[in-house]
Amino acid sequence: MRKYLPFVVAMSLSVIVLFTPESGVPSSPPGTDKVVHCLLFALLAFTGLLARPRWILLVLVGYAALSEVLQELITPLHRSGDVLDALTDVVGIALGWGVAALVARRVSARASR
């Protein structure tokens, strides 16, 4: 169970970030939301892959799309779904996957010494 804790924390953070009503989101320079989306999904992919479920990347792509649909449909949030946010999420997933692969290689190389 301990190996899932970082992913559970990252997932909780994502729910807070993605579903905070628009009024609770601080104003920021243009493009900041894309950086946040990318880093958030990179964190989700990285921590999810460390927990070892092989299906996590597919689930995260689905979550990226679903989160944007829900942002559009849940009226009290006063947020809008954005296809570019979902695509940025997928870039973040790829980034997290790449970092997890590099970490796994280094750990494997150290273990074989």
In the three-class reduction of DSSP (H, G, I as helix; E, B as strand; rest coil), residue 74 is classed as coil
Alpha helices in the chain, H assignment, sequence order: 5-19, 32-50, 56-73, 83-111
Using a cut of 0.75, tell me whether the model's pTM lies above it: yes
Average pLDDT (37-49) is 97
28 or 64: which leads in pLDDT: 64
Model confidence at 95: pLDDT above 90: yes
Model confidence at 113: pLDDT above 80: no
Model confidence at 78: pLDDT above 90: no
Model confidence at 3: pLDDT above 80: yes
Model confidence at 35: pLDDT above 90: yes
